[in-house]
Structure 1
Amino acid sequence: MPLLRFDLVAGRTPAELTALLDAAHAAVVEAFTVPDGDRYQVVHQHPAGELVVHDTGLGIERTRDVVVLQVTSRRRSQQQKEAFYRLLTRNLQEQAGVAPADVVVSIVENSDADWSFGHGRAQFLTGEL
């Protein structure tokens, strides 16, 4: 936890995907202070015509390297979220060659009762986590 869902245009190599996922995970660990082993990531790759990401009137030019990231997480402070955005774009640029203009993030918050990590139990509620 958190759960990261990446939507990308198809065509990245396995090494490029690994760099992208590692860069995002490092940002999560630092910004949200989660354990390094707390890693849940899902990648969805789409044909170019099936991923439409406009600039919302901000004048942001996107390339085919665009990354749309949805983060599902317990509540995080505004400071943690802003740190995550900064760390994520820095890491993605430095480690995966993704320009900051190509990174779109949405954080969806939920509560402890909304997570089960296996065995049909809500581990945050049972005290296992």
Structure 2
Amino acid sequence: MPVTRIMVREGWCDADLQTLSETLHEVLVAEFSVPPTDRFQIIETLPATRFIYDRHYLSGGRSDRYVLFSLVAGKSRTTAQKRAFYRVLSERLQQRLNLDPDDVMVVIQQTSAEEWSFSRGEMFDLSMIK
């Protein structure tokens, strides 16, 4: 049940943003144990003056096509799952959008079930999943 914010600089076309979204979801399902119908994404396109990042910090160099994926996840994943998720996402974005792997950054934040309310003002409980 991750919620993901996808942040990019202005200038991306709708078709490429859709590819970012579709690719992310495909890899979440395949590598991160996310159910196919569990999809919550926010895509933000920001002017350069509002999307500020170090072009070289722990990277070979970020371009204007830099993408930041910020995931909030409600259950923990293994190190192997996370490693595979990062790798496959980067590979598929390179294949589908010619996105340099240095332009892909992912941050995962972990929360517990009680920190989620999906609707009706009710705290999430695992027994809610049928």
Would you say same fold, with TM above 0.5?
A: yes
Poorly superposed stretches of 4+, deviation over 3 Å: none
The equivalent of 1:9 in structure 2 is 9
Question: Aligned-pair RMSD on alpha carbons?
Answer: 1.4
Deviations 1:39-83, CA, capped at 9 Å, x for gaps: 110011111122122222x35211111001111002111111111
Aligned to 2:44: 44
Matching residue's letter, 2:103: D
Q: By how many angstroms is 1:90 displaced?
A: 1.1
Compute the displacement of 1:115 (Å): 1.3
The question of 1:77 aligning with 2:78 is answered yes
Aligned-residue offset at 1:102: 0.1
Shift of 1:112: 0.8
1:22 is the counterpart of 2:22 = yes
Please tell me the residue identity of whatever aligns with 1:88. Answer: L
Q: Secondary structure at the match of 1:64?
A: coil
Is 1:119 aligned to 2:120, yes or no? yes
Alignment match, 2:105: 104
Structure 1 stretches of 5 or more lacking a match? none
Asked whether the 8 Å contact 2:27–2:85 carries over to 1, the reply is yes
> Which TM-score applies when normalising by structure 1?
0.91
Indicate conservation of the 8 Å contact 2:7/2:67, yes or no.
yes
Q: CA deviation at 1:122?
A: 2.5
Name the CA distance, whole Å, in 1 between partners of 2:36 and 2:128: 18
Mapped contact 2:113–2:126 kept (Cα < 8 A)? no
Q: Is the alpha carbon distance of 1:59 and 1:21 closer, same or farther for their aligned partners in structure 2, counting shifts above 3 Å? A: closer
Q: Secondary structure of the residue that 1:84 maps to in structure 2?
A: helix
Q: Quote the Cα distance in structure 1 between the aligned partners of 2:61 and 2:126.
A: 47
Q: Which runs of 5+ in 2 are unaligned?
A: none
Overall identity of the aligned pairs, in %:
31
Tell me the SS of whatever aligns to 1:44. Answer: strand
SS of 1:127's equivalent in the other structure is helix
Encode CA deviations 1:4-52: one digit per residue, 9 max, x unaligned.
Answer: 1111101111111100100111111111111111111001111112212
Q: Contact 2:4–2:40 (CA<8 Å) still a contact in 1?
A: yes
**Between 90-99 and 69-78, the greater mean CA deviation after superposition:** 90-99
Name the amino acid aligned to 1:45: T
